[in-house]
Amino acid sequence: MPDVSVGLDREHSGGVMSNANHREVRRANIPGSMQDVPLSVHHLFDRAERYFGHKTITTATATGIERTTYAEWAVRTRKLGTVLDRLGISSAGRVATFAWNTARHLELYFAAPCTGRVLHTLNIRLFPEQLTYIVNHAEDEVIFVDKSIFGLLAPLLPTFETVKHLVVMDDGKGEIPADTAGIAVHDYEQLLASASPAEFAEVPEHTAASMCYTSGTTGNPKGVVYTHRSTFLHTMATMMTDGLGASERDKILPVVPMFHANAWGLAHAAVASGADLVMPGPDLSGPAIANLIVNERPTIAAGVPTIWMGVLPELKGRDTSSLRAIPCGGSAVPRALSEAYREQLGLPILQAWGMTETSPIAAVCHLDSDQLLLDVNAQADLRTQVGRIVFGVECRVVEPGTTTSVPWDGESSGELQCRGNWIAATYYNDERAGESFSSDGWLRTGDVAAVDSRGRIRLLDRTKDLIKSGGEWISSVEIENELMAHPSIREAAVIGVSHPKWSERPLACVVLEAGATLTKQEILDYLAPTLAKWQLPDDVVFIDEVPKTSVGKFSKKTLRDRFADYQLPTA
């Protein structure tokens, strides 16, 4: 770039530069004077140990409530670091967990990365062949397993190629099989009892800290590796007011499993901020979670929509005044569900959006200050959005197959893409990675969305769940939201079914509330005022339950397989 200031000096002095009155402007870069300290999980642990030792971790177990403090947890976590050394786990070895949300699982969350190893949380609800695939693909060296679910893992032990140790955490139920395929079995508490606390050495911030695999609804699951740096930054986002706002004043109940996208960052945020934790353990039923809310009085309780559907009736008439936020994600939050919580508890659901690939918090639906002045119906409509992208993440909505952004007018739709410091850049050792990232490096989320002028995102559907009818796209999510607003409908999923004229037409799969009765025509009549005629389902089928994926989402793939040969009455 030309030195404009020198040119101006010459012009003002008649073209002659006077050394007495002018100094040459130097354009050399100025080095920053800030310290460069690694952003690591160790810092999160250190804060809990140093400042919040008096704060508590409560775990619901099969035998009752167990309580500990961060001070006691920190000592045990350091001892666990020594255990990993004694087991001979390699310096970057994968430490797998097959466990519920407990204080022990939280010890593993930090002992593995703080010793330079990589935590690998195994989804206990995956199909057996998928578990075998991810254990072998990640090259897990040890699996820490809750005794109550050892039975799920036992038949697969002969298929594991790299596992050398199994460490059993006795959570009050279950048996240890006699045959463990030659893999050494240890007792968690006995290992800790004989270990001394380890000194955690700092690790470079770009070192891998943990990994999760996607739920694998199509093909094998894909591995996402989180670094110390990405985890640190994501934790900050979770603690920000426009994130989930976790702070020392909170008591956090993460109903979302610790094997599901880092428990949405709440386990890390609680430790970093000094928030009390309430771990739900193995019982995630409506009555059990409701009892924890009433008895333990959390301020934040986070889970997927299916969890909150089961909890709501159990909270009727009970004291829920401790709650300040009910974060919900994993799938679209029905308007009727959020409104039911607002009406009964005085607190609507806080919808958030993300994926395994986004660590996962990427957007949170906080209403703007002026939107809080709107009437309740207008606010309820806004809460059906996933909200504004959080600080630290960028988003764009592009025309399919391009990098051309669509207008941010709230109506124009396209594929939602993201980038940021806690967004995946690729998948772990997977040749399919190129399919999920744009030519300029943005994550292709697979969600179809529209964005308004304020940057608030409205998800229309998953790309694979859109229904192509003639020349129009029909959003299955929009129909499902309308269906689940009916007081007699408990769950509803809408899929596209083959049609000879229109290519596909919507089929509504409906689960009624206990004791309720509805006919197909009554449902269509209910939908008619809010949907265009061509959006209405061509048929309605009544089912006992909408099948779920391993992370609690509606499994539309299962429904599409089930109704693959379904003959619509309009065909």
What positions carry a catalytic annotation? 214, 357, 468, 473
Q: How many helices (H) and strands (E) does the chain have?
A: 16, 25
CB 367 within 8 A of CB 379: yes
- CA pair distance 414, 444, nearest whole angstrom: 11
Task: Report DSSP state, residue 262.
Answer: G
CB 238 within 8 A of CB 270: no
Residue 120's DSSP bridge partners are: 96, 211
Strand order of the β-sheet with 56-61 is: 64-69, 56-61, 276-279, 251-254, 300-302
Which one, of 552, 17, 2, lies nearest residue 264 by Cα? 552
- CA pair distance 64, 283, nearest whole angstrom: 11
Terminal CA-CA length for the chain? 68
Q: Show Cβ contacts of residue 129 under 8 Å, excluding neighbours closer than 6 positions.
A: none
Distances (CA, A) of 94 to 108, 212, 259, 431: 12, 11, 15, 21
- CA pair distance 546, 539, nearest whole angstrom: 16
Strand order of the β-sheet with 208-213 is: 184-187, 165-169, 140-146, 94-98, 118-121, 208-213, 223-227
Coil vs helix vs strand at 387: strand
Here the tokens at position 71 are 């001070």
- CA pair distance 300, 322, nearest whole angstrom: 9
Q: Which amino acid is at 460?
A: L
- CA pair distance 70, 252, nearest whole angstrom: 14
- CA pair distance 131, 220, nearest whole angstrom: 10
CA 478, chain centre distance (Å): 22
- CA pair distance 260, 221, nearest whole angstrom: 13
- CA pair distance 298, 319, nearest whole angstrom: 12
Neighbours of 88 (CB within 10 A): 11
Which residue in the block uniquely carries the two structure tokens 């990098």? Answer: 403
Q: What is the four-CA torsion angle of 88, 89, 95, 96, rounded to 10 degrees?
A: -50
Characterize 323-333 residue by residue with b for buried, 16 or more Cβ atoms within 10 angstroms of its Cβ, and e for exposed: bebbbbbbbbb
